[in-house]
Structure 1
Amino acid sequence: MATAVTARLRTAAKRHEVLAATDAAGSLAAADTVKELITHLDAEGIKYIAPLIKSGTIGNNLLRIKLSAVQLSEALVRKPEELYAKILDISAPFTIRRRGAEIKIIAGDLHLTRSSSRRYAMPTLGLAR
């Protein structure tokens, strides 16, 4: 998930698709701000990205993520209405790793596993068939 979000933001910055309408200087400034945000996202991973996510769905080999305009605009120090609408929608390939009788869903660096003490340890969501 973290990889999909950073990849989309990186592509948007390269294509100057961060803001809906702006001049060349504003577009360059917004791209630089996105690059700074990506640096934080790469360092912090899912912990930093989670607040930016409004919703997500898992479909047929596809992960769809909708970013929050309010949260992303705050991170970019912009108004939500200034953002290019397509920057908020992310689609990425998604695979489920199967191991024996269970399915293991891995979302970036977040894994939820059940330990013997019946508490959830750090990040793999195991699902029985």
Structure 2
Amino acid sequence: MPLLSGCGGAAPVPEWKDPPPVSAAPGATGRVAAPDGGESSAGGPGGVSGGPPGLDGEEFVDAVRGELPAVAMDRRGEEITELGGQACASLAAGHDRGEVAAELGGYGLAAADARRLVTLARTTLCRG
């Protein structure tokens, strides 16, 4: 039986290429989108402190998850911390707690949940 051979040998095996590395998520800028589409700063006097990432809002996030599960549902820790940061920034700007709670209602929070979130932010997150 004759052997048949191809022209030039076997086809090269394709080289597996690793996908390009996924870039890291951009860092927090300290800016929080307000319900009206504007921005406000979560830092500064009375705002969220600028300590190491993951430590600033940990106590606050734990408190919200424990006491306000409806607020924490479907929100990442960073999003919960941003809500608290918005509360801290508004309080630092001189708004009273009722006004701050009303602002948080623009993020879809029930009035009672927004009031409790402001209290939690004041006791666990806001500095100054």
TM-score in terms of structure 1 length: 0.33
Larger % of strand: which? Answer: 1
Higher Cα radius of gyration: 2
TM-score (norm. length: structure 2):
0.33
Q: Which has the higher contact order (CA 8 A, sep 6+)?
A: 2
